[in-house]
Chains A and B, each alone.
Chain A
């Protein structure tokens, strides 16, 4: 059992690292996504934000500019000519700031280029006409009517769609209602590549992080437990069960813990003998004890079961003044009272 120590040591390198990590994390939050945008700039030129509020306060409705919202699949974006119906004269005003003129949104070819924050992937089936009159524009697009161009608007989140459909259209809650390439019998795209290795970290991020990683959309909440307790990895064949698991766990025991998170080892090793323990294994002339006693009480595989064997757990402890960093063989290399099997002295002499 580990000895009790005080909780915080400021000399602890781990604590220094976590403080630095926390500071870095806070810095990321403070700058929001700007760091990522700087490192990974969008391919298309940055489009300029539009002041919706300046128009809605003048009584201009959403469908006045987005003409397709009422009767078409896409709401559509206004053309320059459409804007100029009102701005032809407005933009001639003296002292009118440049960002309030239509020309502000023109590209080098003289065409207006709108930011399409709400654009969904092509596989999403959505009709503005089908939703017209059943939900206000702001129910999906947020407070776009009060947006001055500074609010960050992303694509509508699926959680919002589901919340509304649960209340207003429960019959259209299935995947195929909105997704062209997804249903409950066909896994999402990201389930193909590396999914068997990556799904754990995605699952731990939780449902709120990203809809695509929300396992509960298709899987029962206890699917993790059921699968990890009942479905074996491919290499868990009979040889693995009888012998190879010891080799693999010796390399990376953390891999085992994905599924075997309880007292699994104790259970089997208390009743099962290794395949090397044949009928003659324990005979007096058997090599396992006559050759050298050391592996039995060291960190070798014998100690997995034989850790409490009388006489093998009685190695004298190290003197109190010995520190963990001392190399035993530096002083004791030529004066050992038993053969040196090259193993870890600290395993027995604790």
Chain B
């Protein structure tokens, strides 16, 4: 605002009411708020929930030395918390609390960037997404740019476990160094260290993770690789080549992952699953994704993944070798203008449990601001449990619409009917989203 005024020629003072301080304080505030109502029912049970999701940003990170960010969710079980014993078809993670409304704070941090100092400080609840796993933390992080080619960072705080009642015994700290061989270039070489101490219901974990990462790009191609050590021993290696041939409307990504050793239970923040799914067996995973456009009307996406256990890895209930194929054609504005047809086939083949899904939907832009859609999906799960093989089928039918009420507001609604081995489910969702 000041910059804009400084360029305008001087004008005579205009008699107008001065802006209040409240207005000027709220000017840098932007964000979205979404309200969503969900009703679910079977033949003998029902559930009504209300969700409020808010995302707020204060200030412009490109200009302002101080900015803030907040995102949170409030969930209310409108018909009360049905924390019933035994089977209940609408059990939710929120039922572990003995109250009808629960709140979750995802991010809430303050950024401070002294002008032209190359320093960025962030304090509050944040996610360290530059690490191999995005690690949520309550704490502080400082990033210092040492010239145009080197950036150093350090952080410390408490790991965030959204469902843990006490952070007692938890701590995390670490650092990273990043080298950019060419200033403002695309090449990045990183070394990172993360220490986690996590005391949870199943014991105390103290983990040290070290990572080396390379990110290089040229033209429409990008190469990425990351190698990590856990407790001084090779943990995994990920290498990825991605690129595009714009003239041919072709995108691709090749990725290989190698897990070197059996990984036991770790801190939740870097491995929330081994506690329940047991050890992760070493494997090699090769993945190819590709997308080809055929003019403006037709796009074909495809994925192939193959995972093999290696180094004496043993196949168990939660460690399968598998092959996965996904094919997803998309037709836009064909055969009718404003009509899109999307189909998706996802097939997982393993020696034990297998499943595949086939889904499709058709959407019609009834008006510039109104889109109607109709869809259906089918899934078949073949489970080879110790009791013998069983087949579960799931059929889902849905219809809905989105309506852009104004430039900043929209309403959406969806009704879904689902038939599966448990029963028949009917779900109605109505949402309102407003951006400001």
Q: Which residues of A contact B (CB under 8 A)?
A: 1-9, 12-15, 17-18, 21-22, 25, 28-29, 32-33, 35-36, 40, 157, 162, 166-168, 170-171, 190, 192-194, 197-198, 201, 204-205, 208-210, 216, 220-226, 229-230, 234-235, 237-239, 242-244, 247-253, 256-257, 260-275, 277-279, 287, 292, 295, 299-301, 303-304, 324-325, 341, 343-344, 346-347
Interface string of B114-152 (1 = CB under 8 A from A): 000000000000010110011110000000000000000
* Residue pair B61, A221 in contact (C-beta under 8 Å): yes
Q: How far is the CA of A18 from the CA of B387 in the complex (A)?
A: 45
Interface string of B289-303 (1 = CB under 8 A from A): 111110000010101
CB pairs A–B below 8 angstroms (13 shown): A1-B265, A4-B231, A12-B233, A192-B299, A194-B289, A197-B301, A198-B289, A235-B346, A235-B379, A239-B421, A244-B392, A250-B319, A266-B272
Contact of B301 among A12, A18, A190, A193 (CB under 8 A): A193
Contact A299:B396 (CB < 8 A) given known A22-B212, A40-B219, A239-B420: no
**B127 nearest CB neighbor, chain A only:** A225
| Chain A minimum-CB-distance residue to B427 | A238
Give Cα A253 to B281, complex, Å.
12
Closest chain A residue to B159, Cβ basis: A262
Asked if B229 contacts A25 (CB within 8 A), the reply is no
Minimum CB–CB distance for B103 against chain A, Å: 13
Q: Is the CB of B163 within 8 A of A262?
A: yes
What 10 A-B pairs come out closest when comparing CB atoms?
Answer: A14-B234, A267-B163, A193-B291, A7-B232, A18-B227, A239-B420, A194-B291, A299-B316, A272-B91, A36-B218
Report B-chain residues with C-beta under 8 Å of the C-beta of A287. Answer: 387
Q: Are A344 and B322 in contact (CB under 8 A)?
A: no
Contact partners of A193 in chain B: CB under 8 A: 249, 251, 291-293, 299, 301
Say yes or no for B367: interface residue by CB 8 A criterion.
no
Contact for B394 among A8, A237, A304, CB less than 8 A: A237
- Complex Cα gap A347–B319 (Å): 12
For B229, the chain A residues whose CB sits under 8 A away are 7, 14-15
Whole-angstrom distance between the Cβ of A42 and the nearest chain B Cβ: 10
| Chain B stretch 187-228: residues in CB contact (< 8 A) with chain A | 187-189, 200-201, 203-207, 210, 212, 214-219, 221-225, 227
What chain B residues lie within 8 Å of A209 (beta carbons)?
A: 186, 188, 215, 217
A193 to B71, CA, bound (A): 28
Proximity bits, B229-244, A CB within 8 Å = 1, else 0: 1111111010110101
Q: How far is the CB of A24 from chain B (nearest CB, A)?
A: 9
Contact residues of B between 331 and 375, Cβ < 8 Å to A: 344, 346, 348, 350, 352-353, 355, 357, 359
Beyond known contacts A14-B227, A166-B62, A226-B55: 16 more, CB 8 A cutoff: A1-B204, A1-B206, A25-B214, A29-B182, A194-B301, A201-B240, A209-B217, A222-B69, A225-B106, A237-B394, A237-B425, A252-B322, A261-B135, A263-B161, A268-B93, A304-B277
Is B16 at the interface (CB under 8 A from chain A)?
A: no
User: Which residue on chain B has the smallest CB distance to residue A260?
Assistant: B272
Question: Complex formed: what's the CA distance from A197 to B231 in Å?
Answer: 31
Shortest beta-carbon distance from B274 to chain A in Å: 9
- Whole-angstrom CA separation of A325 from B282 in the bound complex: 13
Query: Could you tell me how many residues of chain B have their Cβ less than 8 Å away from some Cβ of chain A?
Result: 149
Contact A299/B136 with A17-B237, A198-B253, A221-B57 known, Cβ cut-off 8 Å = no
- Docked Cα-Cα span, A279 to B84, in Å, equals 13
Chain B proximity of A262: nearest CB distance (Å): 5
Closest to B1 in A: A170
Q: Would B278 and A303 count as touching, CB distance under 8 A?
A: yes
Give the chain B neighbours of A265 by CB distance below 8 A: 272-273, 275-276
Q: Which residues of A contact B207 (CB under 8 A)?
A: 2
Give every chain B residue within 8 A of A247 (Cβ-Cβ).
353, 355, 381, 383
What's the nearest-Cβ distance from chain A to residue B395, in Å? Answer: 10
Give A346 to B344 CA distance when docked, in angstroms: 39
Cross-chain contact of A222 among B71, B355, B394 (Cβ < 8 A):
B71
Q: Which residue of B lies closest to A300 (CB)?
A: B317
Q: Name the residue among B186, B344, B352, B386 with the largest chain A CB count within 10 angstroms.
A: B386
Considering only CB atoms, which chain A residue lies closest to B346 in the complex?
A235
Question: In the complex, A343→B314 CA distance in Å?
Answer: 9
Q: How far is the CA of A226 from the CA of B95 in the complex (A)?
A: 21
What separation, in Å, do the CA atoms of A170 and B341 have in the docked complex? 41
B-chain residues with CB within 8 Å of residue A257 when the two chains form the complex: 133, 272-273
Cβ A5 vs Cβ B320 within 8 A: no
Q: In the complex, are the beta carbons of B355 and A248 less than 8 A apart?
A: yes
Structural contact, A262 and B136, CB atoms closer than 8 A? yes
**B136 contacts which of A29, A261, A344 (Cβ < 8 Å)?**
A261
